[in-house]
Chains A and B, each alone.
Chain A
């Protein structure tokens, strides 16, 4: 069907019969699916007997929506042209776009630094900003594994959890400060990354994804059941808040507010946390950009492109994969430690598969390997999700639809092209259809 639609669009004429046929088929499928799901409502009666009633009106509305939606999507497709089409734009528009593209990064960065200043009195926006930045950092960390090395990791939340629990346990047991525990949390997470890396070295594609998924679940179940160490489902509470290099952000006499001679406000801590995660995320970004231009980063990307060729060129694929897992996991661990200190309480509930899926969605939606794309996707996914809060229970629907539309128009993510790591004369982006997704 895909080839049929592509070939019919080459002429760019509207194939009415084809669109109508497709809409009818979609409507029929919807009718079969929804006839039981929506058409008949069953419930247990007062004595446990089965009561049911029909909702044919709703069913008809759903089928009609699918019919109309199918026509609409096809019309949009015809208007937009096939996905592979190279659209010729006037040079002025191209120049304006490339200027906007270059200006986007500094503008976003300056905006991020100014958020606490602009929204100082809006606690909700500050909290949301911290949440978005946490996911930006997680996305950038996973981007090393999935986007650069091409290793599909569905259990990234495991390293987030290891980082969070490392900090929580070290801080509550030994009373060590956040700044001492942060590197340790990263190192422990990296160690777990290597631990996961070893058994999955020989696995590729779907098999790798399943094992990493299982790894994420194993970590969560261990945390849930190792009562004596992790507190099981009760989690760990009373995790120390971070201090500004030893100065606590408390109303007491030794607090930051008293030292600076200003009135104490709980917002100080939120602002501090905001800048803390911003700096951590930017360190992740800086390290990734540097690593990409080093031999190890090029080896990761080469591994994504062709593993056999890598081995023929004398690249040790084992250590290359393990370093990708370890470094990706390390940044996950940093983010986890931050999460623990922000929340003050952690339990295994915060580290479900849902989190892994969300971070992976951010990486895929952003365009695998693109730092800016991942940041934009995190902003859109986490921020956008909040934006639709007014729609109440329709928000998932709107959100899902937005994602489907995005994947139709930009199947390789928001920023799909790849920037070369080294060039002689021209630094030109590489089209996404040449770049491999990796099968390892």
Chain B
């Protein structure tokens, strides 16, 4: 229990009369990849937006535990969730800064650290050595992450000019440049081909393995979810219908029923027919 980085407790989100998420509880373990799956309209992105502060939940508690401190995310402003609680996110439709270079995108992500180093602009305006050192360190971090996704040769190209798959991965490493404790990825494999999603899997496993960053993942691409997730939560109509390891989820009739839009009995019948 204490090893959970994120615990969502009885989260409810209503839009007018529509209940998008209903009394949802789940946890994400520290240093693990937790997936959130479900059919379209199940409320996955709504949960994400609540965790990352873009929505204020109607009720419920979202706890984020660092090793030495705890935050209640639903009480924080959106930018403070990234700044102090160290939760980073990517978006379903890529949101890079298209007119800035790949390198600049990663520099913007290190805004808060650089802002402190520049003495909130006053010292930086006169180019004090400590700020120059901090900026070089930031460039080195950006260089490291660009190298990780093989984009170092294109560091000085506009982000909007990069191929789609590169943009996806650039957005992930941009989030990593904020040095997050929890990385939330909203459909990172959407629109990627088999080779690219293979590379994505490698990148995510490396982020988890080498940096110890916990990952929360929304994904439709089962080749990604089943291969890299440590734990899966299944949502349907805003309610959690199942959770467990990838193997357990694969065999759960309720999950198959939700995805096929069929009754549970029918799904069991289908599964038994197969075997």
- Chain A residues proximal to chain B, CB less than 8 Å: 287, 290-291, 294-296, 298-299, 301-302, 305-306, 308-317, 323, 418, 420-428, 430-431, 434-436
Contacts and interface: CB of A to CB of B under 8 A. Distances in A.
20 contacts: A295-B111, A295-B121, A296-B115, A296-B118, A298-B107, A298-B111, A301-B104, A305-B97, A305-B100, A309-B97, A313-B175, A314-B111, A315-B79, A315-B108, A315-B112, A316-B79, A422-B107, A422-B139, A424-B103, A434-B99
B88 A295 contact: no
Nearest to B81: A314
B78 to A, nearest CB: 5
B263 to A, nearest CB: 40
Please provide the 8 A-B residue pairs with the shortest distance between their CB atoms, ordered closest to farther.
A314-B82, A435-B99, A314-B83, A305-B97, A295-B114, A434-B160, A309-B95, A302-B108
Interface in B81-125: 81-83, 88-89, 91, 95-101, 103-104, 107-112, 114-115, 118, 121, 124-125
Given A312-B89, A314-B112, 5 more contacts: A305-B99, A418-B99, A423-B155, A428-B157, A434-B161
B160 A420 contact: no
Interface in B62-87: 78-83
B21 to A, nearest CB: 20
Given A305-B100, A312-B52, A313-B108, A294 B118 contact: yes
A274 B255 CA distance: 77
B61 to A, nearest CB: 22
Contacts of A310: 79, 108
Nearest to A423: B156
Q: Which of B54, B79, B115, B127 neighbours the largest number of chain A CB atoms within 10 Å of its CB?
A: B79
Given A295-B115, A424-B143, A311 B78 contact: yes
Contacts of A295: 107, 110-111, 114-115, 118, 121, 124
Interface in B225-255: none
B143 A430 contact: no
B159 to A, nearest CB: 8
A332 to B, nearest CB: 19
A291 B126 CA distance: 10
Contacts of B121: 291, 294-296, 323
Contacts of A301: 97, 99-100, 104
Contacts of A306: 95-97
Nearest to A317: B79
A312 B88 contact: yes
B79 A311 contact: yes
Given A305-B97, A311-B79, A430-B99, A424 B156 contact: yes
Contact of B104 (A291, A309, A314, A422): A422
B interface bracket (residues with beta carbon within 8 Å of A)? 35 or more
A315 to B, nearest CB: 5
Contacts of A311: 54, 78-79, 82
B170 to A, nearest CB: 12
B34 interface: no
Interface in B39-62: 52, 54
A315 B104 contact: no
A427 B82 contact: no
B96 A423 contact: no
Nearest to A294: B124
Contact of A309 (B91, B107, B110, B143): B91
Nearest to A426: B156
B101 A314 contact: no
B101 A420 contact: yes
A15 B224 CA distance: 53
A313 B139 contact: no
B82 A309 contact: no
Nearest to B112: A314
Contacts of B174: 313
A309 B52 CA distance: 12
A161 to B, nearest CB: 27
B201 interface: no
Contacts of A294: 114, 118, 121, 124-125
A116 to B, nearest CB: 30
Contacts of B104: 298, 301, 420-422
B96 A314 contact: no
Contacts of A436: 98-99
B125 A299 contact: no
B12 interface: no
B158 interface: yes
A294 B104 CA distance: 11
Contacts of A421: 104, 107
A311 B79 CA distance: 5
B213 interface: no
Contacts of A418: 99
B125 A287 contact: yes
A308 B95 contact: yes
Contacts of A430: 99-101, 158
A418 to B, nearest CB: 6
Given A312-B89, A312-B91, A422 B103 contact: yes
B214 interface: no
Contacts of A427: 156
A299 B111 contact: yes
A295 B114 CA distance: 6
A65 B22 CA distance: 68
